[in-house]
């Protein structure tokens, strides 16, 4: 187990509000006699932390539970007592409403996507705890709600104004889309928005908060002690899966405030980290609810409402320094890590070890899906590629392609891999600014006195650890094939997402290899009835295998280009930039030489030992797997 980079209680402010056996952090204080469900509580700060604990627990079970729990869809999440804390009467609290009907859960599942997941979970929690909830009606400023320049709220749909819970859940979840997030601060009717931007502060940026990208939204679900953010996500594929792959690397695309636009400084500022605009139940003197309304911007400051993220992005765009605790920061990610971390040191070796374990688990989940898809193809015939369709593409499609392609989840898998490189990149960067923050345990055999040598050491350790971790898939003949993580890393852009391809190709077996020879030929059909040969289809799908984000436009196969597109550097390529300034010495330290000796002048005093170290490196385990 890791002691620094994996944390059993990441949300430090939550535990003060609710621990096992503790009193309800927000006891019933009001009552209602109408609406979709009885209301007995108001949203307050304590309640948001209770909600955070609920969301965080779901994330923990989705990422660390049994194989079935890791693959759990919405109904399983809400009905498994180990996953849903609200099935514990003590956590649900006094006067909690009964479990939601299974039919309603299944109805939400069939239409689930990233945006609807935010409403499904927040509405369910509000229902069980007896809290008011609402969603907004929005109008586009022009074009599709999900891609317009901005949207304007026109009204709200409240649980208090519905007759049944089923009515509210079906209408609220169905009517909500990512366009609901495209509301600018201080624009027309902005105080009717579903969400508001939040301060980068551990008191407010807690599980249950959201990150809105352009057309995609994630639910913040965990905050590691290093300041790393973790998210829940949902797919629009027919499987309607809920994922835990995204990390801080997904926090991108936040626009800058423009101070030169007098009176309209925050135009376009709706992407970024946000929290719900929690509703208030207005009561009479007896505590009876008479209506439900939105909180104002001023009232939301108690929960962390702030536009500071857009202000900081403006500074970054203008090349102005952001200084926190005397340290100059160069990116928004660094600002988040600096503010949100709660440890004094981080161990990169432990981090890589844990990451490798997690990556093997993710590949195992992918293998189960690959095998199920292959069996469907064998039983029911090949599946048509969504060629040149306005409504479907390789990531989002109806029917069997949408059910069995791994295109969308492979993007998440690549981003998960990129996260390791990004994090180690930050380790090297912080080593120069705050060297005491980096715990070099496990790196004592390397010459680590500057950023370049640290980069060399991290590359060597990643290679060693990835070589030790193995993964097994089943080929077309039912035989196991073992691969190391190092081999899978090399194949990162070779893993086919096409469900028509046999397992060998889905796992990137090189053409002509012994591993590939067991793969049966299976062409990929097109909607017009023609087919593309397997090897040719695989070649023309290379671009989609390289992407770090889902595309929303048409996908092509027969006429797809096969070269000229950028491919992101892998781990070693990303860290290689640091080695330009590294001292010209071997990364491994020979036995009997201390770091202190090296600091006094390696080149001048230890020439013979340098040569010995070079020979040692040539025959080391690291050298054998490079």
Q: Report the pLDDT value the prediction gives residue 68, as an integer from 0 to 100.
A: 80
**In angstroms, rounded to a whole number, what is the distance separating the alpha carbons of residues 219 and 230?**
8
- Which pLDDT band holds residue 604 (cuts at 50, 70, 90)? very low
Please state the rounded mean pLDDT for residues 203-210.
Answer: 98
* Entry field: residues in the chain: 626
Q: Report the pLDDT value the prediction gives residue 20, as an integer from 0 to 100.
A: 41
Q: Report the pLDDT value the prediction gives residue 433, as an integer from 0 to 100.
A: 81
Question: What 3-state DSSP class applies to 280?
Answer: strand
**In angstroms, rounded to a whole number, what is the distance separating the alpha carbons of residues 260 and 158?**
38
CA-to-CA separations, 568 to 103, 418, 492, 538, 547, in angstroms, rounded: 44, 9, 11, 19, 8
Interstrand relation of 216-223 and 280-283 (parallel, antiparallel or unpaired): unpaired
Q: Report the pLDDT value the prediction gives residue 598, as an integer from 0 to 100.
A: 46
Q: Report the pLDDT value the prediction gives residue 429, as an integer from 0 to 100.
A: 86
Packing angle between helix 308-317 and helix 332-340, nearest 10 degrees? Answer: 130
Q: Report the pLDDT value the prediction gives residue 225, as an integer from 0 to 100.
A: 85
Decide if pLDDT at 613 tops 50.
no
Question: What 3-state DSSP class applies to 573?
Answer: helix
In the numeric block, which tokens belong to residue 553? 């436009």
Residue 380 and residue 404 in contact, taking contact as beta carbons nearer than 8 Å: no
- Which pLDDT band holds residue 21 (cuts at 50, 70, 90)? very low
Decide if pLDDT at 324 tops 90.
no
Please state the rounded mean pLDDT for residues 219-230.
Answer: 92
Model pLDDT for residues 31-68, shown as the tens digit of each residue? 999 999 999 999 999 999 999 999 999 999 998 888 68
Decide if pLDDT at 585 tops 70.
no
Please state the rounded mean pLDDT for residues 7-22.
Answer: 36
Residue 160 and residue 39 in contact, taking contact as beta carbons nearer than 8 Å: yes
- Mean residue pLDDT of the chain comes to 88
- Which pLDDT band holds residue 26 (cuts at 50, 70, 90)? very high
Please state the rounded mean pLDDT for residues 287-291.
Answer: 97
Neighbours of 149 (CB within 10 A): 12
Q: Report the pLDDT value the prediction gives residue 334, as an integer from 0 to 100.
A: 86
* % of residues, the chain, pLDDT over 70: 88
Decide if pLDDT at 251 tops 50.
yes
Question: What 3-state DSSP class applies to 276?
Answer: strand
- Which pLDDT band holds residue 601 (cuts at 50, 70, 90)? very low
Interstrand relation of 210-213 and 280-283 (parallel, antiparallel or unpaired): unpaired
Neighbours of 546 (CB within 10 A): 15
Q: Report the pLDDT value the prediction gives residue 243, as an integer from 0 to 100.
A: 82
Please state the rounded mean pLDDT for residues 240-253.
Answer: 82
**In angstroms, rounded to a whole number, what is the distance separating the alpha carbons of residues 175 and 164?**
17
Of 176, 178, 190, 63, residue with least CA distance to 123 = 176
Q: For residues 206, 208, 212 and 216, what is the CA-based torsion angle, rounded to 10 degrees?
A: 140
Q: Report the pLDDT value the prediction gives residue 238, as an integer from 0 to 100.
A: 65
Q: Is the dihedral of CA 137, 139, 145, 150 positive or negative?
A: negative
Q: Angle 499-505-509 (CA atoms, 0-180°, nearest 5)?
A: 165
């Amino acid at each position: 187990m890791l002691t620094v980079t994996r944390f059993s209680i990441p949300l430090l402010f939550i535990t003060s509000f609710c621990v096992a056996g503790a009193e309800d952090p927000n006891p019933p204080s009001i009552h209602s006699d109408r609406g979709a469900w009885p209301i007995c509580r108001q949203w307050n700060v304590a309640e948001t932390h209770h909600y955070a604990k609920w969301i965080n627990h779901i994330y923990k079970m989705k990422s660390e539970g049994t194989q079935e729990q890791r693959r759990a869809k919405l109904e399983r999440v809400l009905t498994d007592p180990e996953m849903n804390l609200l099935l514990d009467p003590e956590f649900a609290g006094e006067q909690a409403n009964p479990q939601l009907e299974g039919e309603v859960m299944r109805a939400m599942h069939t239409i689930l996507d990233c945006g609807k997941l935010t409403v499904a979970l927040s509405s369910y929690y509000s229902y069980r705890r007896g809290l008011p909830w609402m969603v907004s009606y929005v109008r586009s400023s022009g074009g599709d709600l999900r891609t317009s320049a901005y949207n304007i709220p026109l009204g709200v749909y409240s649980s208090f104004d519905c007759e049944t819970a089923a009515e509210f859940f079906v209408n609220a979840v169905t009517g909500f889309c990512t366009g609901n997030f495209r509301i600018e601060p201080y624009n027309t009717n902005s105080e009717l928005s579903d969400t508001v931007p939040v301060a980068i502060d551990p008191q407010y940026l807690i599980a249950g908060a959201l990150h809105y990208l352009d057309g995609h939204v994630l639910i913040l679900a965990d905050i590691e002690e290093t300041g790393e953010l973790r998210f829940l996500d949902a797919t629009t594929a027919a499987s309607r899966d809920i994922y835990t792959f995204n990390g801080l690397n997904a926090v991108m695309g936040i626009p800058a405030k423009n101070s030169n636009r007098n009176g309209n400084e925050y135009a376009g500022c709706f992407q970024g980290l946000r929290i719900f605009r929690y509703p208030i139940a207005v009561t009479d003197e007896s505590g009876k609810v008479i209506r439900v309304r939105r909180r104002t911007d001023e009232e939301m400051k108690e929960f962390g409402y702030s536009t500071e993220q857009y202000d900081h992005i403006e500074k970054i765009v203008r090349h102005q320094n952001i200084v926190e605790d005397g340290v100059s920061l160069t990116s928004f990610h660094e600002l988040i890590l600096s503010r949100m971390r709660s440890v004094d040191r981080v161990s990169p070796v432990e981090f890589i070890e844990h990451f490798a374990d997690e990556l093997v688990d993710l590949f195992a989940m992918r293998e189960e899906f690959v095998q199920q898809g292959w069996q469907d193809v064998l039983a029911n015939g090949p599946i048509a590629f969504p060629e040149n369709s306005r409504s479907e593409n390789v990531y989002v499609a109806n029917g069997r392609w949408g059910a069995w392609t791994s295109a969308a989840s492979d993007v998440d898998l690549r981003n998960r891999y990129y996260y390791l490189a990004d994090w180690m990149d930050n380790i090297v960067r912080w080593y120069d600014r705050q060297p005491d923050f980096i715990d070099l345990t496990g790196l004592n055999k390397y010459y680590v006195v500057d950023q370049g040598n640290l980069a060399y050491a991290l590359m060597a350790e990643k290679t060693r650890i990835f070589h030790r971790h193995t993964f097994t898939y089943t080929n077309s003949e039912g035989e196991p094939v073992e691969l190391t993580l190092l081999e899978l890393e090399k194949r990162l852009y070779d893993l086919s997402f096409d469900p028509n391809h046999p397992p060998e190709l889905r796992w990137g077996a090189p053409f002509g290899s012994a591993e590939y020879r067991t793969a049966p030929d299976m062409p990929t059909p097109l909607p017009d009835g023609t087919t593309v040969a397997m090897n040719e289809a695989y070649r023309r799908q290379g671009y989609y295998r390289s992407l770090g984000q889902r595309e929303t436009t048409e996908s092509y196969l027969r006429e797809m280009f096969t070269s000229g597109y950028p491919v992101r550097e892998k781990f070693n390529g990303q860290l290689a930039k640091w080695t330009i300034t590294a001292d010209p010495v071997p990364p491994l330290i020979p036995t009997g030489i201390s770091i202190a000796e090296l600091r006094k002048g390696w080149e001048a005093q230890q020439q013979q030992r340098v040569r010995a170290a070079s020979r040692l490196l040539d025959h080391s385990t690291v050298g054998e797997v490079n």
